[in-house]
Structure 1
């Protein structure tokens, strides 16, 4: 299947320039294409991942992606989607973010001849103000720039000249990559259409009207309930395992709505059309099995993290579902219980009733004794009914944690004070 036809089947194309010419081009030869991300933080979240999934598909189809980390544009800030000016970061912070994002991208795309990583600071930083105005400024009409959605949405509240010129710098990127590496296609989010078409205009003004260059954007991702994809009650879902653990990442995908799961299988996995259609049937006929969600969670966790991280996330999930947590490691306990209620206890063994009251897991000694006697309290996976039982924090999980369960589902993570 032609890569453009595949993206169309996956509902992954919002807008594109000259669809038939692009389809013909990718059938005739392997092309180079690019997508960029600015280092506004030290990790991407899953919203950033969407266009890079498209880049990965092109890579697997034999094309050559150029991953652009915006070390230059990141110093001034993209106005896209914002109603206020960005707070400028120090150059040191920008460089730290560049290094972190480059590492993430190398993990997703691998190393080798069929992938390149570039930083626009390498060419933008060499441009003088006079070069910028003479070589590029003359090619941009202010009236046209003001009409771009990215800028127009900011005119009421105001936009600085710095952010106003962002679209020129992104256009310079496209021209530079076109001339230097024969990059013919730019991919971006739906909000990048104005910047992408500005780059195409610059290429044609500079290189001639017959220059073969194209743009493609992905749709804005919304959930079935109309809310923005990728956000949870706890905030963004990050690709960095230190910000969102592999277990939390796995759970995010596992808990997707039946109305969204097939769409996400198309966007975020490399499963074939036949496999996805089979899973779609199971959503209709056996939704209670949640097989599509499980497969989605497996595929994306493996891609972003690793097979080992996936297996760890599955072990934690199984242990929490069954209540049998004794086989988990201290690291897995930290992942699985990271967002659950926490209390702090000393390293000294303490009577179960006294500890439950001291940590406010139970409101009174009477209630604590009643719950223990009735078998409603489990310590580290073992049900305890002995009122004289002493909880020894050193007994499990490297002496770092004690897991207390009250009832069937209410867990507390007791962290042992050092």
Structure 2
């Protein structure tokens, strides 16, 4: 208790030095918190986008990956057959069809990607966040369509208009149907703003694909069970179908293996930069107090007590500064985890070819804040200990001479 009182007295005795030490350490920890929140946010964006588009587990025909980019619907599978093996499945299982089409409105036309979806896709994709005019599809009605913002602008559409969708069936014959527009959406993924959605039943009718889908997606309630469901489907369907986890599909496979390394590298770099700043500050604080160390030694204070006193001061300053750092940095991260950071038209253009968002949301986590607090607190004590140890080994007269 006595040591604690002396430590507090010393901290407040030189307020300017203590203030500069706190500010320097706070900025370092704030930088670590914001930097890691940004990196983790980018990782979560890729992960969530990947899962939305491919499911946690995806079942397709073996040649689907070869034909996917060209939207060739001849690579299709029976959703009814797959559902037979999912009686005990705990989660959401849906079929989708992606197809190429032309949309006609009056004398205007526009090429777009069509997607046939089931009712559960409303929550999986999060349409309530993206529909800015009108409403979602009514699955009790036929021939309704919701259209992306880019297609809307090109064709000058409005709610209630009728459009004609022209495409090819799986047998390569021409098929066309009229649809009534129920809503318009705008997503962060620029590519999807050049698409449209209809009900899976309407898509199957248009494409002459009764009970067939191009991909069947599983979203288990417990993602840890996804490997188990994959094994079941592979054992039952492996010969006729291709079963993959989301992390094994396309760019997801690359990103899921790269991001752990990227996170580790960024964590080390940010921690190192913060550590250099904290180390420099704490070393200067100790070096400025060489004469004070000499005075304490000449008064008979033991080396261990001097070391403990300075380490306690370093720990108090480091903990307080780290707390301010995580509060400030955490506030910034939380704000941008809700509001997001829009990266503008450049990324919107990139997102036309890669399934990423043009708005990045930082990732707020209590573990991130705890890491920042412990980093600053422990590093402050460690640096103080390493710096003061050589000083207390000197003779008091050398400390007083500031050698």
Q: Which has the higher helix share?
A: 2
TM-score, normalisation: structure 2: 0.28
Q: Which has the higher strand share?
A: 2
TM-score, normalisation: structure 1: 0.27
Q: Which has the higher contact order (CA 8 A, sep 6+)?
A: 2
